[in-house]
Structure 1
Amino acid sequence: MAPAPSADTLGTSAARARSAVLEEQIREDPGRFRMLTGDRPTGRLHLGHYFGTLHNRVRLQDLGVETYVIIADYQVLTDRDVADTLTEHVEELVLDYLAIGVDPERSTIFTHSAIPALNQLMLPFLSLVSVAELSRNPTVKDEIAHSRQSAVSGLMFTYPVHQAADILFCKGNLVPVGQDQLPHLEITRTIARRFNDRYGNGGTVFPEPDALLSRAPLLLGTDGTKMSKSRRNAVALAADADETARLLKAAKTDSERHITYDPAGRPEVSSLLLLAALCQNRTPEEVADDIGSAGAAALKKTVTEAVNEYLAPLRARRAEYAQDRAYLHRTLREGNERARAVAETTLAQVRTAMKNHY
């Protein structure tokens, strides 16, 4: 008899079914949604980020979804002792966002540190969850396991609550996430529900945001493990053509000469095929058939050419924006001002709701 599906599997299946419904609703009425998404400024964004989340953000923005993009600079402190390159990394993120098509006229780009009212939401939100609930969060467990510090900070432990403040400060009701982020979003939904129950006077102060699960591909890094900034195995969007070629030339493959797409049996080769296919708008099988028995060198050459051709216009836009730092700073300043006004309104609503109960 087949084993019963796990709670995690059931939760993911439900999230995927809900995501299909959400996609249809977005097409019908994008204006009903407000999306919160973002990144920690810990280094340059890479191809895994682009095909995993960035491309989807721009798609939703272009469909008409109101978009907030947070640069989570305070969260860098969760697992790093110092942040001496933080300003540089923030600017690099803004450059990447602009280059891929995030439009400051339609999307609000902002930083944690510039929005005090957002961070003040953490205190009432922390009162709505237990230590046991935070301890059970599998994403926190994984982050702690991979932390580079000898001891884990309290900020790491409360990371999901800070994320809840990120989402709920703007009354976000749509959050594009990967499967591993579902537990974080469930804590946000729990906090919203408990705040409404305790302080809402029968009304709704916060929406319970939905997860929008994409079918984003999982790209492996050049060493065959998950592509990650911290593992130094990624091809950055900002890398030039020569650096891209050097990195992909060193990518791990296998000893079999005939190139086939077999994610389970040949994960490294298959990831490279998938990357080329994404850049060429083809299937990995088609790319593999073209290469045939030409071997790993031909595969890497194909991937390198596909990546460099695909990223060329993005890199050109990035270089243009990099020459206009005043525009870069203005984009962030204006985004911070808009986000600050929204956060202050939300914090005032929270204070009013809570005062009615004390």
Structure 2
Amino acid sequence: MLTGDRPTGALHIGHYFGSIKNRLKLQELGAEIWQIIADYQVITDREVAGDIVGNVRNLLLDSLAAGVDPEKATFFTHSSVPALNQLLLPFLSLVSVAELQRNPTVKDEAATAGIKAISGLMLTYPVHQAADILFCKGNVVPVGKDQLPHIEQTRVVARRFNERYGAIFPEPDALLSEVPMILGTDGTKMSKSKGNVVELRMTADETAKKIKGAKTDSERFITYDPENRPEVANLLELIGLCEGVAPATVAEEIGNGGGGELKKRLTEAINTELAPLRVRRAELAADPGYVEGVLRRGNERANEVAEATLAEVRTAMGMSYA
């Protein structure tokens, strides 16, 4: 399984419920987990990377604190694995510019970021992601629905390479989360860049403050109606994820308690859910050498695998000269 995150800031509850919990389930089932920290992809939709070192460390801390086991998972950064990135060159020869320009996810991400002129890096982002997945022969990729076009592009790259040069790569399958899209506190998609997130590392008080400002609606009586009351439904779904209770049941229990009771219960639910993670995170943050060692060992392993895969590719393409 290949999964990953862009180090643009600390992880939030959208990552936790939508992706990390799935990673933990797969870890328990014995899947080999590769977790990329996609530092090169930070600059696909922004001019500067920001505090990239700090963000990489925060992302690692959040993942480890959540329970991803470095003995079962390989953490690595894009920029530290040259052979992975070199796969981008032959892969680009397998797709047309028109195919890249039609990718709906790239268009949506550019629109969200307010980008009018798409850079070459952003346009080829789906092929770069194909290299991320295929260098380690990844065959399962947990994604949201908005990322399905990227996985299909990876399948196309793998298929065309195998047809042209010989079977080397699997055609990976997407693993969709059962968790609905989690909205931010402003009622739009939860995003670090929007500042509408509840970060995993927040204190209980910071979490309460964030949730207090979450958007609901003018109706006092709480009902679960995702179509007509999306913001209220979102908060009910979050409670349900924390407590293991159906959102409709939570709504019935709150009823006339209104938005105030809804937010109070959500605050308690999230703080209870994340309490062990936050304790573990503080412990890990106090031992920076351990965290650095996890990344160093992961980068070493990723380089070994990427170089072996690149050697396979060169041989298949008739470019092995030694």
- Calculate the TM-score normalised by the size of structure 2: 0.97
1:185 matched to 2:185? The reply is no
| 1:126 is aligned to 2:104 | no
Amino acid at match of 2:72: R
The answer to whether the 8 A contact 1:199-1:357 is kept is no
Q: How does 1:1-358 map to 2 (within 5 A)?
A: 35-149=1-115, 151-200=117-166, 204-355=167-318
User: Are residues 357 and 343 of structure 1, via their aligned partners in 2, closer, same or farther at CA, if it must alter by over 3 Å?
Assistant: closer
Paired residues of 2:185 and 2:215 also in contact (CA < 8 A): yes
Report the 3-state secondary structure (helix = DSSP H, G, I; strand = E; otherwise coil) of the residue aligned with 2:35.
strand
User: Partner of 2:207: helix, strand, or coil?
Assistant: helix
CA contact (8 A) 1:223 1:251 kept: yes
Cα 1:136/1:155, change in 2 over 3 Å: same
- Percent sequence identity over matched residues? 67
8 Å Cα contact 1:80-1:148 kept in structure 2 = no
For 1:284 and 1:194, the matched residues in 2 are separated by 45
CA separation in 2, counterparts of 1:329 and 1:243?
A: 28
Q: Does the residue aligned with 1:355 lie in a helix, a strand or coil?
A: coil
Q: Distance in 1 between matches of 2:49 and 2:237?
A: 35
Q: In the alignment, is the contact (CA less than 8 A) between 1:51 and 1:217 conserved in 2?
A: no
Q: Which moved more, 1:325-334 or 1:52-61?
A: 52-61
Matches of 1:340 and 1:43 in 2, distance apart?
A: 25
Structure 1 range deviating more: 182-191 or 285-294 = 285-294
Amino acid at match of 1:340: N
Task: Answer with 173-182 or 317-326: which moved more.
Answer: 173-182
Partner of 1:12: none
1:148-175: CA deviations, max 9, x gaps?
4453211000000000000000011111
Deviation at 1:205, TM superposition (A): 0.7
CA deviation map 1:128-156 (0-9, x unaligned) = 00000001111011112122445321100
Conserved 8 A contact 1:69-1:107: yes
Are the aligned partners of 2:24 and 2:68 in contact in 1 as well (CA < 8 Å)? Answer: yes
Aligned amino acid, residue 295 of structure 2: L
Deviations 1:58-95 (A, max 9, x none): 11011101110000001111111112300000000000
* Structure 2 equivalent of residue 15 of structure 1: none
Shift of 1:181: 1.0
* Cα deviation code 1:1-36 (max 9, x no counterpart): xxxxxxxxxxxxxxxxxxxxxxxxxxxxxxxxxx00
CA–CA distance in structure 1, aligned partners of residues 179 and 130 of structure 2: 23
Segments of structure 1 that go 5 or more residues without pairing to the other structure are 1-34
AA of the residue aligned to 2:210: L
Gaps of 5+ in 2: none
Letter in 1 for 2:130: A
Moved over 6 A (4+): none
Native 8 Å contact 2:85 2:128 kept in 1 = yes
